[in-house]
Structure 1
Amino acid sequence: MVNKLSLKQKIVKYTNGILLETEDEIVTEFPLTVYINGEEFATMVCSPTHFEEMVIGFLASEGVIRFKDEIKELQIDEDRGFAYVELYTVTVKNQQYFSKRFIGSCCGKSRQFYFQNDVQTAKTSMSKKIIKAEHCIRLMNDMQEASYVFRNTGGVHNAALATEEELVVCRSDIGRHNAIDKLYGYCLLNSIPVRDKILVFSGRISSEILTKAAKIGVGIILSKSAPTDLAIKLADDLNITAVGFIRGSTFNVYSHPERITK
């Protein structure tokens, strides 16, 4: 069973013109295959932690479930790398529903989603949350400091849900989506409202990450990296404030800047 987030690995390091034998700390990678009502649904390559949160958050973000009470039973077999989910509903939508590209329109705007199920699960944010600029910077710093795995390996993505004042929950994973799914699953398991929270994220804001934020229902996403053009278009359409390049004492606001105050 893989039970460590990182392992020591012998390496050869080049520094100052010299090759030295030493050790480095490397993140571990773990495949988890999810079965729903006896049928194989998806395989997730992840960091071996918070499996239950990740599976529940993944199923919710994919529109398979809306509430934890829809799950009759969830068993994690860590030795073999399987997650067995029994739902009260007997069937799951056709797999093509989760992989077919879709282009549609909404409210007079062109809204493009990569997958058809995103149309059903991505929500226009109704959040009225605002945040001071200085708090954006502090929350990003707090999240990065909280991730000992990132500090030791540099090999994971970090994500957190926060209020304006403090982090509520932090998760790290080798997969960007997994980290966010773990947050969502944590909130569903603990009945924590998400709409009034802020998503803090270490990676690039791609259209997929923006869509994931919309599925959760947050109104603000903070990132230390860049957004893509499609992510900005979706953020504008879905009423989400996208903040990127939070580094040092600066950042850029790419959509709905009215939520950011001095």
Structure 2
Amino acid sequence: MIKKISVEQKIRKYTNGQLFDTVDDIVTEFPLTIFINNQEFATMVCTPAHFEEMVIGFLASEGVIRFLDDIKAFTIDEHAGYAHVTLHADVTTSQQYYSKRFIGSCCGKSRQFYFHNDARTAKTATTNLSINPDQCIKLMNDMQKRSTVFQETGGAHNAALCTPEKIVVTRTDIGRHNALDKLYGYSMMNQLSVRDKIIVFSGRISSEVLVKAAKIGVGIVLSKSAPTDLAINLADDLNITTVGFIRGQSFNIYSHPERIING
């Protein structure tokens, strides 16, 4: 039987000068190995939920597929931890570039990319969407209220795909990239337009997270935490608005502030 998202673990706890035995909820870690056309492609360490969304989103973000119809067959063996994907075409080109270092020019757009696939598949945002400060704060609060696995275990990242007014879908995973891949897979499987959507995220906006958002195609990323300098540079290049440290009634806007409209 497939593992649960969290399990109870006996622990010894120290608090207020006392040691005592109790139980704690621990988030589950699960390896899923992806085979493409019968060849091993990658192993993802993840939370055991929404496997199909995660795999489809991951393959799309890596440029292996562009459309859902690129997949001829898809099966998941949850007991063994395998995902078998058969494509209509081979993936020689994608495998050649997967996780290979990208050496860019010293000037021009996208000079900050680490990997070839990122340079090939990240999209420059074209959205005209805007959002006001109250909506930023409300979306973050609403996502945190839905983050039950994090509340129980403290060991998961949360991501949500939203309109300015409401959350469309939320996903949880121990891997922040996996949570975003699940959103990407969900949008592809449900033919959901993402150009007019926002990503709300619980973790740090690293360059990898920013690139994931660019591959999905959104133009606004809201986070509870901080960005890195490389993420901000990429956001400037890719026309993405990044907002961090959304806590209480304040936040910081790091790139393309014109989409955050007060009033």
TM-score bin, normalised by smaller chain: over 0.9
Contact 1:2 1:30 in 2 (8 A): no
Amino acid at match of 2:67: F
Q: Could you tell me which residue of structure 2 aligns to residue 57 of structure 1?
A: 57
Q: Compare 109-118 and 245-254 and name the one that shifted more.
A: 109-118
Q: Could you tell me which residue of structure 1 aligns to residue 10 of structure 2?
A: 10
Name whichever structure is richer in strand by fraction.
1
Deviation by residue 1:19-75 (Cα, 9 ceiling, x = unmatched)? 010000000010000000000000000000000000000000000001111100110
Looking at structure 2, the residues matched to 89 and 183 of structure 1 have their Cα atoms a distance apart, in angstroms, of 25
Q: TM-score, normalised by structure 2?
A: 0.97
Contact 2:245 2:252 in 1 (8 A): yes
Q: Could you tell me which residue of structure 2 aligns to residue 19 of structure 1?
A: 19
Q: Could you tell me which residue of structure 2 aligns to residue 197 of structure 1?
A: 197
Amino acid at match of 1:55: V
* CA-CA distance at 1:195 after TM superposition: 1.0
* CA-CA distance at 1:107 after TM superposition: 8.2
- Alignment CA distance shift 1:99-1:41 (3 Å): same
- Alignment CA distance shift 1:72-1:35 (3 Å): same
RMSD: 1.3
Contact 1:105 1:112 in 2 (8 A): no
* CA-CA distance at 1:98 after TM superposition: 1.2
* CA-CA distance at 1:76 after TM superposition: 0.4
Q: Which runs of 4+ in 1 moved over 6 A?
A: none
Contact 1:103 1:112 in 2 (8 A): no
Structure 2 unaligned regions, length at least 5: none
Looking at structure 1, the residues matched to 117 and 178 of structure 2 have their Cα atoms a distance apart, in angstroms, of 18
Q: Compare 75-84 and 1-10 and name the one that shifted more.
A: 1-10
Secondary structure of the residue that 1:104 maps to in structure 2?
A: coil
* CA-CA distance at 1:104 after TM superposition: 2.1
Q: Could you tell me which residue of structure 2 aligns to residue 38 of structure 1?
A: 38
Task: State how many pairs are aligned.
Answer: 262
Deviation by residue 1:228-257 (Cα, 9 ceiling, x = unmatched)? 000000000100000000001000000000
* CA-CA distance at 1:94 after TM superposition: 5.5
Q: TM-score, normalised by structure 1?
A: 0.97
Looking at structure 1, the residues matched to 33 and 146 of structure 2 have their Cα atoms a distance apart, in angstroms, of 29
Amino acid at match of 2:87: L
Secondary structure of the residue that 2:141 maps to in structure 1?
A: helix
Q: Compare 22-31 and 88-97 and name the one that shifted more.
A: 88-97
Q: Could you tell me which residue of structure 2 aligns to residue 99 of structure 1?
A: 99
- Alignment CA distance shift 1:199-1:110 (3 Å): closer
Secondary structure of the residue that 1:131 maps to in structure 2?
A: coil
* CA-CA distance at 1:112 after TM superposition: 1.5
Amino acid at match of 1:113: F
Secondary structure of the residue that 1:24 maps to in structure 2?
A: strand
